[in-house]
Chains A and B, each alone.
Chain A
Amino acid sequence: MLRHLFRLIWNKKRAHTLLIVEIWASFMVLFGLATLIVVNVSKYREPLGFTYANVWAVQLHNNQDTTDVGSKLQRILQRVRTYPAVESASSMGDNFPFSAYQNGSSITHKKHDVQADYYTTDDNFANTLGIAVPTGRWYRSADSVGKYRPVVINEQTRKELFAAENPLGKIISDQYKVVGVIDNFKAKGEFMANRPALFELAKANNTWTNTMLVRVKPGTDAAFEATMVKAIASQLPGWGFEVDYLTDSRKNQHNLVLVPIIIASVVCGFLLINVALGLFGVLNLSITRRRSEIGLRRAIGATGSGVSTQFVGETWVLATFAMLIGLLLAVQFPLLNVFDLQAGVYLTAMGIAALIIYLIVTLCALFPSRQAALIQPATALHEE
């Protein structure tokens, strides 16, 4: 019966061209959207690599004050650490977790280059963000006296730069010495890819590590924030301050990813509704036009449910034709390694898109096919 349906639809391919194009376009759009969702879901499932609850990012802007900026920053950091409400505090550059800033550069080991995100932090960074260091250790201030500057890399850097080699003690770009390896570090949030990262110990009196990450005790409220800012302001007249809660910054980063996906989903939803309505209309019309065929099939042995199944089957065949064309295009993405995504992502997206298309065409075909099943053969056969 399946071959019969394929032959029937194949012979009517011209009449179904528009419908096939519609289903094909829907499949491609769904494939794109599903790829986007699958990529982000798989990223989301990878651990962030640090904790952000109760962590504030205090950005200090020296504005016109250019005198002894590094020392002033150090003093403020020491002062903040003395508050009983503060569990830990650390300084780093503008590219703190969930911020809009990014700093990256190429790093080299044995003539092998890797593009990595750079973070310049102090020795208390891992402690403040609750970062575990499974291999080696986090750098200390005392490490800065050596010939090479101490760095910590993440697992992704280790994989890409050292492969099976032990990275501890190895020299990167002729100036950094690896002292530790952490697992993940996804600074832009859960939807960020786990990219190679390198953490470098900030030099003493550095003027641009002007962001303080402050981990406060749970339950610390805005009153403490006001007290802290007031104290900083009194010590740094003319400076500007900005306090971000990392939980809020994380939401903002998530929105940057989720809003386009939601918009794309809504547009895709409308497209699918249009396709579904079109398909529904075409099937209804087809049943009206094919009443005599339905009558004939009933006369020669089809049951009511058999006729109904046939119409659903025809829509599946139609969808299969359209999706075969779509799959030919979609399969080029993993073959040509477009967007540098894993083949599994594309294959999953193809599967999801195909499943949704089959679901939609089935829903569209159900009512018309039930109508077809109700057609009385005796009446239908004498209408022509």
Chain B
Amino acid sequence: MIKLTNIEKVYRTSSIETLALNTINLHVAAGEFLSIMGPSGCGKSTLMNLMGLLDTPSNGTVEIAGRVVTQYRDKELAQLRNQQIGFIFQSFHLINDLSVLDNVEIPLLYRKGDPAGASRRVLAKEALEKVGLSNRMSHFPGQLSGGQKQRVAIARAIVGNPAIVLADEPTGNLDSVMGNEIMNILQQLNTDGSTIVMVTHDEAMARKTHRLVRLFDGSMVGDSVLRNERVVE
């Protein structure tokens, strides 16, 4: 589903050159639940950005669902992100001036052939039901707890039925109870067929995934299969 080949990412300023990722080769199969761990500054977020097509590598190729996207233009990348990838962030990134339902609806607004308003509403409600928040649809993010906000963010990530969900420290801002709830939802999504890549600092959370990749100083230093339950490919 995601294939990274010889990926390098270098950040350059006029005087400094920083190698953020060094020769990363990673293949995430469809239906896999992969976690990425490593110390701060090791390149986890950079790797997520590359997999999420939010950034371009300095070298190497990125393949999403069999398509090499390295040469894609902004419009094509935006479409691919919209259709294939759902994002979950540590700080939720909800729009405070929109209701929960409106927040969840946003990815559908950017979909090619934009579904009609009524069907957008239906899809958004379904996504909220999946994360158990159908009773908070007209609330605003400011009226929700951290765990609820993250569930809204998950609903937003899955509303367009993407094949891949990228979660950047989704439990990082939550207590252990809330974190476990979120983890359960992600596991359920994976069971339902989504490919999930999750960056985490929490070893216990990582142990709940199928596979654990460890990064250190921009290089992959470990890749271990934890469970092998739901890999489609």
Residues of A in contact with B (beta carbons under 8 Å apart): 1, 3-4, 7-8, 11-12, 292-293, 295-306, 376-378, 381-382, 384
Binding-face segment, B88-96, B183-191, B207-215 = B88-96
Please measure, in the bound complex, the distance between the C-alpha atom of A296 and the C-alpha atom of B104, giving whole angstroms. Answer: 12
Cβ 8 A contact of A299, one of B52, B91, B98, B105: B52
**Structural contact, A301 and B111, CB atoms closer than 8 A:** yes
Cβ 8 A contact of A302, one of B86, B98, B105, B110: B110
**Structural contact, B98 and A300, CB atoms closer than 8 A:** no
| B102 interface residue (CB < 8 Å to A) | yes
Tell me whether A8 and B98 are in contact in the complex, defined as CB-CB below 8 angstroms, given that A298-B54, A299-B52, A378-B55 are known contacts: yes
User: Which residues of B sit under 8 angstroms from A301, Cβ to Cβ?
Assistant: 78-79, 81-83, 107, 110-111
User: Which residues of A sit under 8 angstroms from B81, Cβ to Cβ?
Assistant: 299-301
Residues of B in contact with A (beta carbons under 8 Å apart): 45, 49, 52, 54-55, 74-75, 78-79, 81-83, 86-87, 89, 91, 93, 95, 97-98, 102, 105-107, 109-111, 114, 117, 156
Interface of A is mostly: helix
**Structural contact, B109 and A4, CB atoms closer than 8 A:** yes
CB distance from B58 to the nearest CB of A (A): 14
Q: How many A-B residue pairs have CB under 8 A?
A: 69
Other 15 A-B pairs with CB < 8 A, given A296-B93, A300-B156 = A1-B109, A8-B95, A11-B97, A292-B91, A293-B95, A295-B93, A297-B110, A299-B52, A300-B87, A300-B110, A301-B78, A301-B83, A303-B74, A306-B78, A306-B110
User: Which residues of B sit under 8 angstroms from A305, Cβ to Cβ?
Assistant: 74
Tell me whether A1 and B114 are in contact in the complex, defined as CB-CB below 8 angstroms, given that A293-B93, A304-B74, A378-B55 are known contacts: yes
User: Which residues of A sit under 8 angstroms from B87, Cβ to Cβ?
Assistant: 296, 299-300
User: Which residues of A sit under 8 angstroms from B106, Cβ to Cβ?
Assistant: 4, 297, 300
Please measure, in the bound complex, the distance between the C-alpha atom of A384 and the C-alpha atom of B114, giving whole angstroms. Answer: 30
5 A-B contacts, Cβ less than 8 Å apart? A7-B102, A296-B87, A297-B110, A300-B106, A300-B107
User: Which residues of B sit under 8 angstroms from A4, Cβ to Cβ?
Assistant: 102, 105-106, 109
CB distance from A291 to the nearest CB of B (A): 11
Please measure, in the bound complex, the distance between the C-alpha atom of A296 and the C-alpha atom of B88, giving whole angstroms. Answer: 10
CB distance from A19 to the nearest CB of B (A): 15
**Structural contact, A299 and B54, CB atoms closer than 8 A:** yes
User: Which residues of B sit under 8 angstroms from A382, Cβ to Cβ?
Assistant: 45
Please measure, in the bound complex, the distance between the C-alpha atom of A336 and the C-alpha atom of B117, giving whole angstroms. Answer: 40
Please measure, in the bound complex, the distance between the C-alpha atom of A292 and the C-alpha atom of B95, giving whole angstroms. Answer: 9
Please measure, in the bound complex, the distance between the C-alpha atom of A384 and the C-alpha atom of B55, giving whole angstroms. Answer: 18
Chain A residue at smallest Cβ distance from B73 = A303
User: Which residues of B sit under 8 angstroms from A306, Cβ to Cβ?
Assistant: 78, 110
User: Which residues of A sit under 8 angstroms from B52, Cβ to Cβ?
Assistant: 299
CB distance from B57 to the nearest CB of A (A): 12
User: Which residues of A sit under 8 angstroms from B91, Cβ to Cβ?
Assistant: 292, 384
Please measure, in the bound complex, the distance between the C-alpha atom of A381 and the C-alpha atom of B91, giving whole angstroms. Answer: 9
Please measure, in the bound complex, the distance between the C-alpha atom of A306 and the C-alpha atom of B82, giving whole angstroms. Answer: 13
User: Which residues of B sit under 8 angstroms from A11, Cβ to Cβ?
Assistant: 97-98
CB distance from B38 to the nearest CB of A (A): 16
User: Which residues of B sit under 8 angstroms from A299, Cβ to Cβ?
Assistant: 52, 54, 81, 87
Please measure, in the bound complex, the distance between the C-alpha atom of A12 and the C-alpha atom of B74, giving whole angstroms. Answer: 30
Please measure, in the bound complex, the distance between the C-alpha atom of A298 and the C-alpha atom of B75, giving whole angstroms. Answer: 10
Please measure, in the bound complex, the distance between the C-alpha atom of A302 and the C-alpha atom of B82, giving whole angstroms. Answer: 8
Chain B residue at smallest Cβ distance from A9 = B97
CB distance from B201 to the nearest CB of A (A): 15
